[in-house]
Structure 1
């Protein structure tokens, strides 16, 4: 079977790779899965009711860009959350989850050549794997920029050579970061947006963890770009109900940007997109309009942050989580630690290197485990205590 050469060097996806590492061994206790970031808190009670009341919508083709009510709810949420007022017709595209959008936006907006050179796409390292696949799909060179403790767990794009930056067409940035939980400050966004303006590239801001935080709501790329008076098409932001509302199976997200970007993304989606069914759009609109369930969800995560601080506070290199729901724990060897933890304690975590690429022989994440804080609180406490007892005592 023949595959495109540009995809031939993709590493095996993280979770099949994890199964190969662990599943040939017996769990050392009743299994507790802390490897995948699938929210397991209750989703809002009104979701089922909203879907049932809109069942007739399954008998109609949904609009690709999202229905008027859903886009109006998204625009209202952006105005409340970020103080930016957008036009629902020109600036919003509903998505079937943000992964679809993060990939298809590159197809719609990436260019084949820049300054008569092969285009480059920047991404943090470690990173969400769709960034790399999207860059390869448009025949761009993926540039894996270290996001480590030395750089504040965010990529230092500003320090890259000017000759490289002149080839860049897209820069991905996840804030709060997956897996580290680091949050881009207003100053960080300002520097990045100014850099993008100087070198003429777009920023794809993956903000799907924006509503899970300890104290201060993370600043958004859209509000900073608006305050700076930047080109509205300079930034595309992506949001989702998966983490905010514990609705990963609803597959509801959106992209927001300037009218030029959104028009191009809509044009591609008209041919290739998978629109959200109308009953699910009705439920999503209610979720975007309601903040009570979001605050309840955030309160649960704050208790989990405190739990993690109490259990791991004596571990050298432990960093209290600022936002998101992953711990990025220090270990000597990520695969060895994950295997020991599974065989001796029955706890399943993801080796940090499975989320990164080695660049010039420099590995990223081999000294980290990613631990998802998504389980019910008592189960999570059992898992964290087992993890601490197995690896840090």
Structure 2
């Protein structure tokens, strides 16, 4: 029998979108702007490196990552954030951030907090794995609205003491999916201070951290170190999907306190699926290379500028600070997505599909999410068609 706690799960966003759109004929050349699948080039030497190591597909890979991969991740953290971590005790390689974000909850969430059912905090809207991870461990997911009024970041500081005493874990994404908001140092300091006071852990999803306009987003580990916080207080999640345009590599990592990483490693020893060894060898080299990352960022900065030109006069448009999504205001996200499909052939995602709540209580209701992953020329065509369909010029 299907576990009862999963019986009321809403349909996943993309099956819902297919149900909404696919019964209708597209009104123009089809353009997919729904999924955040990077389209920029990854380093050209990746294929050759896989070929050089193809024989390693005949070996069981190390579950936690090769020593060289973990050392490469350690060195990247030091370059990017100025934080020193122990490659053996504070880093574990995972199959992209989604697996890591899910398994961290499985490994770290207690069965009881304050002698009650634990709470897992999640932004609203949110990456859907946060909610399912909370449900899987028997916790209560509490959705904290991230709206224009809160700077599109969840207002954890506004939660009641009753909720915070029961909180075991808090998910946070910066730059945020879908809104592109970036948590600054003050925000991190407040959140980490709250976690210290109420003894919960922060699961910092920072997979978009290398896509930004001008200033590199500050990192959770960096701020926690500067504050002298408990080393177990923050875990940071990263991958090569967005940074290096390698979503199919399924290569990422979790970094945090040694006790937390040890518990994640123990769980993965029983149930984890390690990254294939040739792909670990590729990952070692990709984390060490910054040239392709800088070029990738330059291309996205052109896209930010394009979006600002096209939508700068749209009431309620907030330029994203990072990531590669537009969070565009509309009267109704489903109606706007359907109109776009029927009149232009463009597919976008209704914002409500990424959030919890009904009607006006759903913080995604009045938005659509648009992925800016297509090449610049194609993106300009698509965004122009979108603007002309939904907004007055």
Q: Quote the offset at 1:49 in angstroms.
A: 1.3
- 1:257 and 2:264 aligned: no
Corresponding residue number in structure 2 for 1:274: 273
Residue aligned with 1:225, SS: helix
1:187-224 per-position Cα deviation (integer Å, ceiling 9, x unaligned): 10011001001000000000000000001000000000
State how far apart, in whole Å, the 2-side matches of 1:186 and 1:312 are. 29
Structure 2 counterparts to residues 85-164 of structure 1, below 5 A: 85-164=84-163
Corresponding residue number in structure 2 for 1:382: 381
Q: Quote the offset at 1:360 in angstroms.
A: 10
Q: Which stretch shows the higher mean deviation, 353-362 or 321-330?
A: 353-362
State how far apart, in whole Å, the 2-side matches of 1:332 and 1:99 are. 31
Corresponding residue number in structure 1 for 2:213: 214
Indicate how the Cα distance of structure 1 residues 39 and 130 shifts in structure 2: closer, same or farther if over 3 A, else same: same
Residue pair 1:34, 1:374 contacting (<8 A) in 2 also? yes
Structure 2 counterparts to residues 1-393 of structure 1, below 5 A: 2-358=1-357, 362-393=361-392
State how far apart, in whole Å, the 2-side matches of 1:107 and 1:360 are. 32
Q: Which stretch shows the higher mean deviation, 169-178 or 55-64?
A: 55-64
State how far apart, in whole Å, the 1-side matches of 2:43 and 2:390 are. 37
Residue pair 2:359, 2:365 contacting (<8 A) in 1 also? no
State how far apart, in whole Å, the 1-side matches of 2:240 and 2:374 are. 18
Residue pair 1:144, 1:359 contacting (<8 A) in 2 also? no
1:75-132 per-position Cα deviation (integer Å, ceiling 9, x unaligned): 0000000000111000000001110000000000001011210100000000000000
Ranges of 4+ aligned residues in structure 1 off by more than 4 Å: none
1:240-283 per-position Cα deviation (integer Å, ceiling 9, x unaligned): 00000000000000000010000000000000000001100011
1:311-367 per-position Cα deviation (integer Å, ceiling 9, x unaligned): 111111111121000000010011000000000011100000000000797122110
State how far apart, in whole Å, the 2-side matches of 1:101 and 1:156 are. 24
Residue aligned with 2:353, SS: helix
Q: Quote the offset at 1:39 in angstroms.
A: 0.4
State how far apart, in whole Å, the 2-side matches of 1:97 and 1:301 are. 21
How many equivalent pairs are there?
Answer: 392
State how far apart, in whole Å, the 2-side matches of 1:129 and 1:152 are. 21
Residue pair 2:76, 2:287 contacting (<8 A) in 1 also? yes
Residue pair 1:153, 1:182 contacting (<8 A) in 2 also? yes
State how far apart, in whole Å, the 2-side matches of 1:280 and 1:83 are. 27
State how far apart, in whole Å, the 2-side matches of 1:67 and 1:371 are. 37
State how far apart, in whole Å, the 2-side matches of 1:368 and 1:58 are. 44
What RMSD in Å do the two structures reach over aligned CA positions? 0.9
State how far apart, in whole Å, the 2-side matches of 1:249 and 1:363 are. 32
Residue pair 1:103, 1:130 contacting (<8 A) in 2 also? yes
Q: Quote the offset at 1:291 in angstroms.
A: 0.3
State how far apart, in whole Å, the 2-side matches of 1:115 and 1:314 are. 49
State how far apart, in whole Å, the 1-side matches of 2:253 and 2:334 are. 35
State how far apart, in whole Å, the 1-side matches of 2:81 and 2:34 are. 32
Residue pair 1:356, 1:365 contacting (<8 A) in 2 also? yes
In structure 2, list runs of 5 or more residues that go unmatched: none
Residue pair 2:328, 2:370 contacting (<8 A) in 1 also? yes
Q: Which stretch shows the higher mean deviation, 272-281 or 351-360?
A: 351-360
Residue pair 2:237, 2:254 contacting (<8 A) in 1 also? yes
State how far apart, in whole Å, the 2-side matches of 1:10 and 1:377 are. 37
Residue pair 2:206, 2:237 contacting (<8 A) in 1 also? yes
